[in-house]
Amino acid sequence: MYFPQLRRLGSHNINPLTINMLDSWLAVQRRAVLKNLSPIRFSLQSNVDTELAIDMFSLSSESSIGVLKAIFKPICPYCSGQNGHYGSLDEVPDVKIECRHCGDFFVPSSRLDLIEIVFERCLEPEQPLIDQNARGQNNNHGGNRGNGESLRASDIINRPNNARRHLLSKLDSRYEAAQ
Ligand SMILES: [Zn+2]
């Protein structure tokens, strides 16, 4: 495997074939997209169920596996411009900020549907890539903001489970208290 730590996904009832698909997919990603990986793009390109793909990315970003890191990116409701990136949902500002693109004001934490979650690959493959050119051709998609490949914090809140809980950090308890 390129990322042997991913074997630990097996303890979450994820089968070895699917784990290998994620392993190879992560290994062949172009350097330019390594901080902008989307579980939905992995799902589309590898024909893995979207919900399972989100679970796998989330679990892989927990410290016990540590292959990925979640990044939270607030998007301006007026111009769709991206405004900064944060290591957890707790760090997303809950006060008004001025959009760096259009100058309008908004509260980033108030719109979970406008907080994109992407993942950064933190590790290098532990072995050389096989047939990198042939497989790399599938990875020519650009950014994923504002289209169908974009995962939002609201998607996690709407369909929470144990695999994703850590992405919600303190918001999880606030959300449950509000129910
Ligand atoms: Zn804006």
Q: What is the pLDDT of residue 133?
A: 54
Which residues are CB-neighbours of 7 under 8 A, at least 6 positions away? Answer: 1, 19
Confidence check: pLDDT of 173 > 80: no
Average pLDDT, the chain: 88
> 68 C-alpha to center of ligand 1: Å?
29
> 172 C-alpha to center of ligand 1: Å?
27
Overall average pLDDT of the 79-91 stretch: 96
> 177 C-alpha to center of ligand 1: Å?
32
Predicted model pTM: 0.83
Confidence check: pLDDT of 53 > 50: yes
112-171 per-position pLDDT tens digit: 999 999 999 999 999 888 765 555 444 444 444 456 789 999 888 888 888 988 898 766
> 81 C-alpha to center of ligand 1: Å?
5
- Give the distance from CA 169 to its chain's centroid: 15
> 101 C-alpha to center of ligand 1: Å?
5
Q: What is the pLDDT of residue 131?
A: 62
Polymer length of the chain: 179
> 93 C-alpha to center of ligand 1: Å?
15
Alpha-carbon distance 102 to 5, whole Å? 42
* Structure tokens belonging to residue 121: 């690959």
Alpha-carbon distance 77 to 80, whole Å? 6
> 110 C-alpha to center of ligand 1: Å?
15
Q: Say if residue 108 is exposed, middle or buried (CB neighbours under 10 Å; 0-12, 13-18, 19+).
A: buried
Alpha-carbon distance 103 to 79, whole Å? 9
Confidence check: pLDDT of 66 > 60: yes
Q: Tell me if 145 sits within 8 A of 75, measured CB to CB.
A: yes
Lowest mean pLDDT among 53-57, 59-63, 141-145, 150-154: 141-145
